[in-house]
Amino acid sequence: MFDMALLIAAAFAAGVLNTIAGGGTFLTFPALVFVGVPPVMANATSSVAVFPGYLAGALGFRHEIATMPRRSLLRLGAITLAGGLGGGLLLMVSSNAAFSAVVPALLLLATLAFLFGDRIRNWAATRAGGVTPEGALGLFAVSVYGGYFNGGLGILLLALFSLWGMTDLHRMNGLKNLMSFLLTAISVAVFIVAGLVSWPQALVMMAGSTAGGYLGAPLARRLPKSVIRALVALIGFGMTAVFTWRLFQ
């Protein structure tokens, strides 16, 4: 009962966090590892847990998404699906030992991306060059990362869109949620086929994260951004230290 209560609380808080800033993986993944789920399965189960929120976010920005050329959306969607598939397959063949070895670096990268997301996006905007073949390659690389490890995905996508020259934050957020949904959908399908999802925990956390996304939104809007950043930094750096320590045990 304690384990389930912890998972529900972590998923609910992750839903709130994803509503306003992203970073919910910082809560769901460590919580699953804490209750005894192996690292690779915990990462796959965490992706399933936060999956419904991406679809809800994409539907919330459906009008902004509809203003984008359909051919461009189809091309970007195909690239994203390919990258998400690659990342999911990469996780499928990773051993728990190998994945555990790279988790500290991934957590650190995701934490830094979250903390310096505004600066990253501003830097990218000054170098805007439009959607080019290089931009497509960047989307594929970010999608592989997202399929393999979901943490910090939204920040990386927004920075990439800024680099392409996009300036409308609402359209960027809509596209971010749509691409996140697509790549998570294909990677989750891989995880399910491979038997990497711990379903009792996944179903409980899906309910918790969905409730957090809807019921926690009013609370989230009242919290100062500085408080959210401090909380994510504390969790992100703390989990990086914990998983680094685990490597040497």
What is the mean pLDDT, run by run of 10 residues, along the chain of 249 residues?
91 78 78 91 90 77 86 92 94 85 82 74 64 72 89 78 78 85 90 92 90 70 71 77 78
Q: What is the pLDDT of residue 136?
A: 81
Q: What is the pLDDT of residue 32?
A: 94
Q: What is the CA radius of gyration of the chain?
A: 17
Q: What is the pLDDT of residue 236?
A: 75
Q: What is the pLDDT of residue 130?
A: 54
Do the Cβ atoms of 25 and 110 come closer than 8 Å? yes
How far apart CA 68 and CA 50 sit, in angstroms, is 26
Q: What is the pLDDT of residue 86?
A: 94
Do the Cβ atoms of 44 and 191 come closer than 8 Å? yes
